[in-house]
């Protein structure tokens, strides 16, 4: 078997508003327009990825929370209806997706070998979270290749951002080893926003963009700092500054999705492509394409805890 590889990574935010505004047949609510900056950013990401063939999408989502270990989708097929609990008027999405079961079990085994607890989710009736669905839909709306979704462990909340990120680095290394061992060409998606303080009320017409802006200037400055580091290829510094970013901007990166993705990609030091930035109900969101590292140097912990 040929050795697998990470083709690319992406910061792929998951506001359900983006799917709502796209009006795909899977989503029941209909929109007129809205959030074009981010929707067109996803278009640019899709065009770029068309030149980098991949056969599986790996996504780490903050909306599948597990207090014990890291859970991995591991049933061949999932089908059902996902309704966003906060925005049911925007997101009532019928999904029908396939999972790369061999890779899912390989990730579980490599994660356990790294000293972390991991569990395969083999219940075919498990309801897929909207973070997974939105990020995957906006990146690959055809749904023509399998995915593997990974839960977010609550170590960041139960212990600290530093402890959680250390575990996410080990999980990222384990993910990369599983991809290489199974011969896959994988795309990584970190399903999260940047700054995440949001409005508690929305306008009568959700897609009315005259009401849309970042929540506050402090958040905007932090988002721009993170995007500047992406553009410079300083991916390790992004993770080093994550505790301050989380505290100051209430960042959704707290759940570890971004750290996992950057670690699995090998912490590349080449410039990343920022396809676009925009706000959704006050939160800061960016679609960023991350190249894989040319040489995976590993972390000081060597993937072990």
Q: CA separation (Å) from 295 to 11, 164, 264, 272, 291?
A: 21, 25, 12, 16, 12
Angle (deg, nearest 10), helices 161-182 and 257-264: 40
Whether the pLDDT of residue 303 is over 90: the answer is no
C-alpha 38/C-alpha 285 separation (Å) is: 8
What is the set of domains in the chain, with CATH numbers?
5-290 (3.40.830.10)
The structure's pTM equals: 0.94
What pLDDT shows up at residue 294? 77
Whether the pLDDT of residue 38 is over 90: the answer is yes
What pLDDT shows up at residue 60? 97
pLDDT band at 133 (very low <50, low <70, confident <90, very high): very high
Is the Cβ–Cβ distance between 154 and 256 less than 8 Å? no
C-alpha 100/C-alpha 91 separation (Å) is: 26
Q: Within 13 Å and on the Cβ side, how many CA atoms surround 184? A: 27
Considering only CA atoms, which of 37, 47, 65 is closest in space to residue 8? 47
Which one is predicted more confidently, 29 or 157? 29
C-alpha 69/C-alpha 185 separation (Å) is: 26
Long-range contacts of 21-24 (CB under 8 A, 24+ apart): 21/207, 22/138, 22/141, 24/137, 24/141
Whether the pLDDT of residue 11 is over 60: the answer is yes
C-alpha 35/C-alpha 37 separation (Å) is: 6
Whether the pLDDT of residue 300 is over 60: the answer is no
What pLDDT shows up at residue 1? 63
Q: In terms of DSSP bridges, do strands 5-11 and 273-280 run parallel, antiparallel, or are they unpaired?
A: unpaired
Terminal-to-terminal C-alpha distance of the chain? 29
> How large is the average pLDDT for residues 72-76?
97
Is the Cβ–Cβ distance between 46 and 136 less than 8 Å? no
Is the Cβ–Cβ distance between 151 and 63 less than 8 Å? no
DSSP-based three-state secondary structure for 247: helix
pLDDT tens, position by position, 166-211: 899 999 999 999 999 999 999 999 999 999 999 988 999 999 999 9
C-alpha 144/C-alpha 187 separation (Å) is: 14
What pLDDT shows up at residue 296? 44
């Amino acid at each position: 078997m040929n050795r697998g590889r990470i083709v690319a990574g992406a910061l792929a935010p998951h506001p359900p508003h983006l799917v709502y505004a796209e009006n795909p047949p899977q989503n029941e609510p209909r929109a007129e327009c809205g959030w074009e900056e981010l929707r067109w950013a996803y278009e640019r990401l899709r065009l770029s990825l068309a030149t980098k063939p991949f056969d599986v999408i790996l996504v780490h989502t903050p909306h599948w929370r597990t207090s014990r270990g890291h859970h991995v989708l591991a049933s061949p097929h999932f089908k059902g209806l996902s309704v966003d609990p906060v925005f049911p008027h925007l997101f009532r999405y019928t999904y029908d997706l396939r999972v790369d079961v061999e890779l899912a079990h390989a990730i579980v085994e490599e994660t356990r070998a790294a000293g972390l607890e991991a569990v395969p989710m083999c219940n075919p009736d498990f309801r897929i979270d909207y973070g997974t669905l939105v990020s995957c839909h906006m990146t690959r709306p055809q749904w023509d290749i399998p995915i593997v979704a990974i839960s977010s462990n609550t170590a960041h909340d139960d212990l600290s951002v530093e402890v959680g990120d250390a575990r996410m680095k080990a999980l990222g290394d384990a993910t990369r080893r599983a991809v290489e061992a199974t011969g896959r060409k994988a795309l990584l998606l970190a399903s999260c926003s940047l700054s995440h303080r949001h409005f508690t009320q929305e306008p009568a017409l959700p897609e009315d963009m005259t009401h849309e802006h970042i929540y506050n200037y402090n958040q905007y400055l932090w988002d721009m700092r993170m995007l500047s580091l992406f553009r410079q290829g300083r991916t390790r510094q992004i993770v080093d500054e994550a505790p301050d970013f989380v505290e100051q901007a209430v960042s959704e990166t707290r759940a570890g999705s971004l750290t996992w993705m950057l670690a699995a990609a090998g912490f590349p030091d080449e410039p990343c492509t920022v396809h676009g930035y925009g706000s959704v109900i006050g939160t800061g969101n960016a679609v960023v394409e991350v190249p894989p590292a040319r040489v995976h140097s590993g972390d000081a912990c060597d993937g072990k805890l």
